[in-house]
Amino acid sequence: MNAIPSSATNPLRPCFRPRRLGHANLFVGNYERAFEFYNQVAGFEEVYRQPDVPASFISNGNTYHDFGLTDLGSRYAPPGQAPGVFHIAFELETEVDLVDGYRASLAQGIEFAFCQNHDVAHSLYKYDPDGNMVEVYADVFEDWRAARNGVISGQKPEWIPGETTVPVADPRYPKNPQLRTVTSSVFRGRRVTHVSLVAQKYEEMLAYYTCYLGLQQVAGSAGGDWVLLGGTASDSALTLYRAGPGRAPGFHHVGIEVGSEADLDRALALLPRDGVEVEHQIDHPVRRAITILDPDGIRLQFYVDRDWSAQRLAGVALQDALYLL
């Protein structure tokens, strides 16, 4: 496994230590139609809705939202935006870590696109070398269901890191959350765990996510065609594939964990009921996965881990890695 670029050869210095991928926010053609699909096919509950965005936010308890489904008619969608990823978000241990990382970034001359107060969390946003929007955030309100439910609207208060409020020093993310099940859905999605991107600037992207953002190399190769990165509480948070023939740069898929292989078998039997086709299946010693497309053509991977280990992932061919990781 070729090592990531070292601090001796890369100007970036680590500023954060993400625990895991917190959520994936998507641009969708119609947020109400998207919610129906993600509820009845993917198996997620709607936690809250923001009609003034407009967007639907869904989770089964893993965090205050696993997906944000933002309408292409939203003010956040730039002209000509196609369905796909809006941003990916990485969860930190505490708000103190978030503010420390913000200050360390500024000290390196690294600026952020904007900061945001989400009531239950505080967030920083910037773009990676390929132009994908990346959020780093920390929960600041542990009982998020009490603050984020139903219909939410209105202007969010300003948040200036380390100035507006005293940073929260203790972890406020969900600990041992009770995951819910949408019993009528095709898949019984438990939580979003990772996002996979095809990288145009592969080496630069790898350096950004490791040397600066603080993710850790789990498997794959800096000199190869793919690399798997994890956080302090997850060994699968982000996969980067090298762009090439048949692999256009950009979002590839989002990974959703289900409870068992029996759940995957059940879903295969129910998919025809909803007119959903299987795009790809992979049966591998480390993971079994089924990939489908949502109504906007966004690729969703539903999976169950088997003997998941870096050693078993060594040498996985790119054509398998694209749908396995």
The answer to whether residues 199 and 239 touch, using CB atoms and an 8 Å cutoff, is no
For 265-297, the pLDDT digits (tens) are: 999 999 999 999 999 999 999 999 999 999 999
> What residue ranges of the chain are covered by domains with CATH 3.10.180.10?
20-151, 189-324
Burial class, 181, CB count within 10 angstroms (exposed 0-12 / middle 13-18 / buried 19+): middle
| Residue 11 confidence (pLDDT) | 67
Burial class, 158, CB count within 10 angstroms (exposed 0-12 / middle 13-18 / buried 19+): exposed
- 153 pLDDT band (50/70/90 cuts)? confident
For the whole model, what pTM was predicted?
A: 0.95
Residue length, the chain? 325
Tokens of 45: 């509950």
For residue 284, which of 229, 237, 321 has the smallest C-alpha distance?
321
Q: What's domain 189-324's architecture?
A: Roll (3.10)
| Residue 6 confidence (pLDDT) | 47
CATH code reported for the domain at 20-151 = 3.10.180.10
For 165-205, the pLDDT digits (tens) are: 899 999 999 998 999 999 999 999 999 999 999 999 999 99
